Structure 1
Amino acid sequence: MRRSIQAECFALVAAAGSLFCTAAMAEDGALKNLLSEFHKRYGFPGATAAVALPDGKIVTAATGVADMEANRPMAPDTPMLAASIGKSFVAATLLSLESDRVLSRKDLVSEHLGGFDWFGRLPNHATVTVGDLMRHGAGLPDHVHLESFQIEMAARLVTGAAALTPEEAIAFILDAEPLFDAGSGGAYTDTGYLLLGLVIEQASGRSYYDIVTERFLDQLGLADTRPSNQRTLHGLAVGYVAEDNLFNLPPRTIDAQGTLLWDPSMEWTGGGLVSTSGDLAAWGQALFTGAAMESPYLDRLLDAIPVSPDAPGILYGAGVAIYADTPRGPVYGHGGWIPGYVSSLRHYANHDVTVAFQINTDVGIVDDSTDLVPALEAALADLAIELARTDGSE
């Protein structure tokens, strides 16, 4: 059961006195201090972070501001767009449906989507399986990084046009040459996860958002995680982008009324969730310890392929990146980027801890001109492992 540090403190006071509460608050302070140090060093607007410990505690902290112009402080429960971390929810939904024998990873995608009139124009349409899509092994281009898509996005921003539907986004790769034969390589593609969203809905006869809410968000108590399917998302931190960003967005991506300048519903099963670091850490701890659903699934979740011949130690399973051999042991997780927001989720299997953070800017991050993300991931990992050790839970 997920417990916040505040709830843990009250429970400990009732059971054993304030000494234990002081120790619990020290954990909170250590995380706050670490996040504040990174804020001073890198100068980003604001960030949140969370650590999930083996005994169920979730330690959270925040630093900086959620809105620079209004000087609104960032709080631990301030939501941000989680971007591609949402793929872990999509893959978990598919594994859950597979457990229910609604579909199989071995299914040809054509079994579910062959009735769409455009399906025959999809690269590798005759051979690609559901499992290929889940592991980014389908040989599909990624529409997000195509110039034609970026031009369309910029035009829709200027005109205020509605978001692209999943099928309209998929259309950007129709008739393209496959990158490789399905199942013979790896290439990350958001387009493939939009196809998986259609597979989920065709196989189940239900909305993806209804299923993921019912099976995971509600079941695991992830009350701060919800679909990012509209331009106004209550409490959302303002995201900030560079002047020369890919989609020609203004530096501030939310207007004065709190409405996003672009419609995030177009992301859908490529990510498609707004969340908090606390919820993301709780999700990762449940998912990667086998507690996210009743039926066994970890072997299927971690059934992975190399992401690239140049990175043999990095694999991709069912919506999860796997770093098989690191100084801290195997690491499971996912990163997330969407204009104005960067998120990270990491589970350290040998230590049974999970860390997550979210930052409300992508400046210097999307172009890899700063080491902020890997440096913060490493520092949070070390802190989480130390907290688990001193807490007596490792």
Structure 2
Amino acid sequence: MSRVKLTFASILAFTVALPTLVTANADDLSEQVRNLLSAFHETYAIPGATVSYALPDGSVGDAAVGLADAEAGIAATPNTRMLAASVGKTIVGALVLALESDGVLSRSDLVADYLGGEDWFDALPNASTVTVGHLLTHSAGLPDHVHLEGVAQRMLDAGANGVFEPEDAITFILGRDPLFEAGRGWSYTDTGHLLLGLVIEAASEADFFDLVSARFLVPIGLDATTSSVTPALADLAVGYTIEDNVFGLPIRTNDEGGALLWNPAIEWTGGGFISTSHDLSYWGDALFTGEAINTPHLERLLDAVPVHPDAPDILYGSGVAIYANTPLGPVYGHGGWVPGYVTSLRHCADHGITIAFQINTDAGIVDDSTDLVPALEAALADLLIRAVTQE
């Protein structure tokens, strides 16, 4: 159910009222970020939100406003965790590049080399021509099971009733016509990322989440980031959605004890993680400054394809959206959405600033009725860049 919002270029559309005095003093800057977040909290009537930012000097700042559980009156804090949704694709992409550095697999490998023996594989669109790189960049020509009619509800029901297997989702696209020849277009597909997870496990002969933990979470110190493979997740904020949503969920998507009313295991390598904004900003900084992998990876990470012929400056690399020409210079990152939660991760390359935020509602986002996400992205970037520039 994750999806990417390729909207950072819309920063041009926003004029944000910010204080005249912007300072890089750590305490003052943290207060200004919190004040900005509070203004968005009030204007957009969101339950709660957290923000974290990593600056070029290595410092990380955090802010939180509102409620992690509106009914219980529990405040959101920087330690509040939420589902990261498709931002997890940045981790999947990085893992593929790390395995490529180790010679375990290559982006040019045919997916058939790893999954061709599965009895369902030949019914996969473009089965004989799709490569690992095509899956990474959403250029495989595969439909997205999430957006097929009735599938989202069926997936939620299946996940709630038992253990989810990625093949349960892949089945929905078998026998369908490809959207285009592999490598000849772009179309976002969570199904492709589930296939990528199967490739990773087949090539490495190891569990995907074990690999991520050993490669990234433990060495980088992302202590609040874990797999989201069960409805009961510690320190999870309650997620709120809209009435009459397509998933048939109540507005409060968690039970009284805080457990989700659906099983996030259905995301697997399409998302797959619960995290904090603090961990995500730290992760983004490590990934986009070249520290996450002990071999050169930025060039491969940013080896990208255009998402639309009329938008040559918006591209997609190895699990990362790329905005090549914004008023702030190149911006890298990913957005994420699942019922009740929205996440954003952005790195302003020319300024060395990484920004992450999480919101525990998808109201206004799932129905595209507000500009909350791009407006907050733009306002935070403007504030932080002005502060760093004054140093």
Question: Which TM class, normalised by the smaller chain length?
Answer: over 0.9
TM-score when normalising by structure 1: 0.92
| Corresponding position of 2:199 | 199
Give how far 1:155 is off. 4.0
| Corresponding position of 2:386 | 386
Alignment of 1:153-232 (within 5 A): 153=155, 155-156=157-158, 160-232=160-232
CA RMSD in angstroms comes to 1.2
How many residue pairs match? The answer is 368
Give how far 1:76 is off. 1.1
Q: Aligned partner of 1:364: which letter?
A: G
Structure possessing the higher relative contact order (Cα contacts under 8 Å, 6 or more residues apart)? 2
| Corresponding position of 1:357 | 357
The whole-number CA distance in structure 2 between the counterparts of 1:59 and 1:231 is 29
Give how far 1:164 is off. 3.2
| Corresponding position of 2:45 | 43
**Conserved? CA contact 1:322–1:333, under 8 Å:** yes
> Which of 84, 108, 115 is 1:106 aligned to?
108
| Corresponding position of 2:271 | 271
The whole-number CA distance in structure 2 between the counterparts of 1:290 and 1:51 is 17
Residue by residue, what CA displacement relative to the aligned partner does 1:21-64 show, whole Å, maximum 9, x if unpaired? x9321121111111001111110100000110011111000011
The whole-number CA distance in structure 1 between the counterparts of 2:254 and 2:298 is 39
| Corresponding position of 2:248 | 248
**Conserved? CA contact 1:354–1:384, under 8 Å:** no
Alignment of 1:235-314 (within 5 A): 235-314=235-314
- Give SS of 1:309's match: coil
The whole-number CA distance in structure 2 between the counterparts of 1:175 and 1:141 is 11
- Give SS of 1:30's match: helix
Q: Aligned partner of 2:58: which letter?
A: G
The whole-number CA distance in structure 1 between the counterparts of 2:328 and 2:191 is 33
Which residues of structure 2 form unaligned runs of 5+? Answer: 1-23
The whole-number CA distance in structure 2 between the counterparts of 1:131 and 1:339 is 29
**Conserved? CA contact 1:231–1:260, under 8 Å:** yes
| Corresponding position of 2:338 | 338
For structure 1, which segment, 146-155 or 377-386, has the greater mean C-alpha deviation from structure 2 after superposition? 146-155
The whole-number CA distance in structure 2 between the counterparts of 1:288 and 1:59 is 18
The whole-number CA distance in structure 2 between the counterparts of 1:386 and 1:78 is 28
| Corresponding position of 1:3 | none
| Corresponding position of 1:83 | 85
| Corresponding position of 1:52 | 54
| Corresponding position of 1:130 | 132
Residue by residue, what CA displacement relative to the aligned partner does 1:77-134 show, whole Å, maximum 9, x if unpaired? 1000000000000010000000000000000000011111100000000000000000
For structure 1, which segment, 51-60 or 379-388, has the greater mean C-alpha deviation from structure 2 after superposition? 379-388
**Conserved? CA contact 1:186–1:307, under 8 Å:** yes
Q: Aligned partner of 2:330: which letter?
A: P
Which residues of structure 1 form unaligned runs of 5+? Answer: 1-21
The whole-number CA distance in structure 1 between the counterparts of 2:231 and 2:366 is 22
For structure 1, which segment, 376-385 or 22-31, has the greater mean C-alpha deviation from structure 2 after superposition? 22-31
The whole-number CA distance in structure 1 between the counterparts of 2:145 and 2:59 is 39
The whole-number CA distance in structure 1 between the counterparts of 2:58 and 2:156 is 44
Alignment of 1:311-326 (within 5 A): 311-326=311-326
The whole-number CA distance in structure 2 between the counterparts of 1:320 and 1:330 is 13
**Conserved? CA contact 2:155–2:169, under 8 Å:** no
Q: Aligned partner of 2:362: which letter?
A: D
Q: Aligned partner of 1:85: which letter?
A: V
Between the two proteins, what is the percent identity of the paired residues?
Answer: 61
The whole-number CA distance in structure 2 between the counterparts of 1:162 and 1:368 is 32
Give how far 1:153 is off. 3.2
For structure 1, which segment, 144-153 or 27-36, has the greater mean C-alpha deviation from structure 2 after superposition? 144-153
**Conserved? CA contact 1:133–1:196, under 8 Å:** yes
For structure 1, which segment, 147-156 or 101-110, has the greater mean C-alpha deviation from structure 2 after superposition? 147-156
- Give SS of 1:347's match: strand
| Corresponding position of 2:67 | 65
The whole-number CA distance in structure 1 between the counterparts of 2:198 and 2:142 is 16
Give how far 1:154 is off. 5.2
